[in-house]
């Protein structure tokens, strides 16, 4: 199967197999006008199977979202058909506006305009907690 190489854009590589759609949704790629290719179950050298997303435009990517979903992802910025930059992702220390606290006792459940902020409390277990009530993200 062949997918055209992109000239200027972004390749999100080494996505754990099966998680490409989650990233597609989280980054809001459905709203883009440019071509976006989702390639699933590619045989990889690093891991048995991986997904890849190719975006045919140089858009700003929310690294915090990617880091939360899968910190093993790599991002290749393509310029003039070549890899101009490779970015490795880390677990973000804080996540803004992506998750919602589900604790019914949390202040955010009654004041819904409050910014939803989660902090990384255990990098090993990738545990995030609401900054207000400290409930763990499930």
Partner 1 sequence: MRSLIDILELSVEEIDELIATANGIMADPHKYSEKCSGKKLATLFFEPSTRTRLSFEAAMYELGGHVIGFSSANNSSASKGESVADTAKTVSCYADIIAMRHPKEGAPLVAAMNASVPVINAGDGGHNHPTQTLADLITIFKEKGRFNDLTIGFCGDLKFGRTVHSLIQALSRYNNIKFILISPEELRLPDYIIRDTLEKKELKYIETTSLETAMPELDVLYMTRVQRERFFSEEEYLRLKDSYILDTDKLSNAKKDLCIMHPLPRVNEISVSVDDDPRACYFKQVLYGKYMRMALIMKLLGV
CB of 12 to partner 1, least distance (A): 32
What residues contact residue 82 under an 8 Å CB cut-off, 6+ apart?
none
Residues numbered 117 to 136 that lie near partner 1 (CB under 8 A) are 121-122, 130-136
* Residue 116 makes contact with partner 1 by CB under 8 A: no
Token digits of residue 38: 């989702």
Q: Are 89 and 16 in contact (CB under 8 A)?
A: no
Which of 48/110 has CB closer to partner 1?
Answer: 110
Burial of 105 (0-12, 13-18, 19+ CB in 10 A): exposed
CB of 96 to partner 1, least distance (A): 14
* Residue 34 makes contact with partner 1 by CB under 8 A: no
* Residue 33 makes contact with partner 1 by CB under 8 A: no
Name the residues that contact partner 1, by CB under 8 A.
Answer: 103, 105-111, 113-114, 121-122, 130-136
């Amino acid at each position: 199967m062949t997918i055209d190489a992109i000239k200027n854009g972004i390749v999100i590589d080494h996505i754990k197999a099966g998680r490409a759609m989650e990233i597609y949704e989280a980054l809001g790629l459905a709203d883009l006008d440019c071509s976006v290719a989702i390639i699933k179950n590619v045989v990889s050298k690093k891991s048995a199977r991986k997904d890849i997303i190719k975006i045919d435009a140089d858009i700003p990517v929310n690294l915090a979202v990617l880091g939360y979903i899968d910190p093993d992802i790599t991002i290749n910025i393509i310029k003039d058909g070549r890899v101009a930059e490779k970015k490795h992702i880390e677990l973000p220390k804080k996540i803004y506006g992506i998750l919602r606290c589900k604790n019914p006792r949390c202040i955010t459940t009654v004041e819904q305009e409050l910014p939803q902020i989660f902090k990384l409390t255990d990098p090993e277990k990738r545990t995030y907690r609401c900054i207000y009530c400290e409930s763990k993200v499930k």
